[in-house]
């Protein structure tokens, strides 16, 4: 995300430096004003061909490179994970022991209520394979969240091994009403 904002800022700054309007630059680069506006306002779906045209129109070189992320410890401490995730456990106090003894419960809570950063810290703590395995075992109440994680598991080639409680409840209700 940081690089997306940097590209957007660079485009806008260079255009303004040259005293060009959005329309003028769009015409020079053979693109549309709405596309240029999106690119300057944090759009994250840049097309290399369009960026190349914009760079040429701005008299710049387009340089694309991969840089390793800032070094981070491979595995966060339990205390760091508890500190980050504690807001998700409003009904009980999350403790380091829960991470080892009630891991599935912690994962389920993060899947339902957590952010992408919460998922990332769990993956860093547990490892990708263990995390995905636990996701496959998780009970997820929200249909939308369940559908999302089922797609993620399918994409990763991990079988979902748990039936979800709403499906179980609906099934038992239908069977008992016959």
Residue 38 shares a structural domain with residue 102:
no
The answer to whether 118 touches 85, Cβ cutoff 8 Å, is yes
Alpha carbon distance 136, 130 (integer Å): 10
pLDDT in tens, the chain (178 residues): 456 668 888 999 999 999 999 999 999 999 999 999 999 888 778 889 999 999 999 999 998 877 666 555 578 999 999 999 999 999 999 999 999 999 999 999 999 999 989 999 999 999 888 888 888 888 888 888 888 888 888 887 776 655 544 454 444 445 555 5
Alpha carbon distance 86, 94 (integer Å): 6
Let me know if residue 145 belongs to a domain: yes
Residue 52 shares a structural domain with residue 98:
no
Alpha carbon distance 16, 12 (integer Å): 6
Q: How crowded is residue 114: how many other Cβ atoms within 10 Å of its Cβ?
A: 20
Let me know if residue 71 belongs to a domain: no
Let me know if residue 65 belongs to a domain: no
pLDDT at res. 132: 86
101: containing domain: 78-176
Let me know if residue 62 belongs to a domain: no
pLDDT at res. 109: 95
User: Is the four-CA dihedral 88, 89, 94, 97 of positive or negative sign?
Assistant: negative
């Amino acid at each position: 995300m940081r690089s997306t904002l940097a590209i957007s800022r660079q485009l806008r700054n260079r255009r303004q430096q040259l005293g060009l309007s959005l329309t003028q630059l769009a015409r020079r680069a053979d693109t549309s004003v709405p596309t240029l506006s999106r690119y300057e306002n944090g759009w994250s779906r840049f097309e290399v061909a369009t960026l190349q045209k914009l760079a040429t129109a701005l008299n710049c070189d387009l340089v694309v490179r991969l840089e390793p992320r800032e070094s981070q410890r491979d595995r966060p401490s339990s205390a760091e994970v508890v500190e980050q995730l504690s807001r998700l456990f409003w009904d009980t106090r999350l403790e380091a022991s829960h991470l080892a003894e009630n891991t599935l419960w912690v994962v389920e809570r993060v899947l339902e209520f957590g952010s992408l950063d919460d998922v990332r810290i769990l993956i860093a703590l547990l490892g990708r394979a263990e995390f995905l395995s636990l996701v496959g075992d998780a009970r997820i109440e929200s249909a939308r969240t369940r559908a999302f994680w089922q797609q993620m598991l399918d994409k990763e080639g991990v079988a979902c091994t748990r039936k979800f409680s709403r499906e179980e409840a609906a099934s038992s209700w239908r069977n008992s009403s016959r």
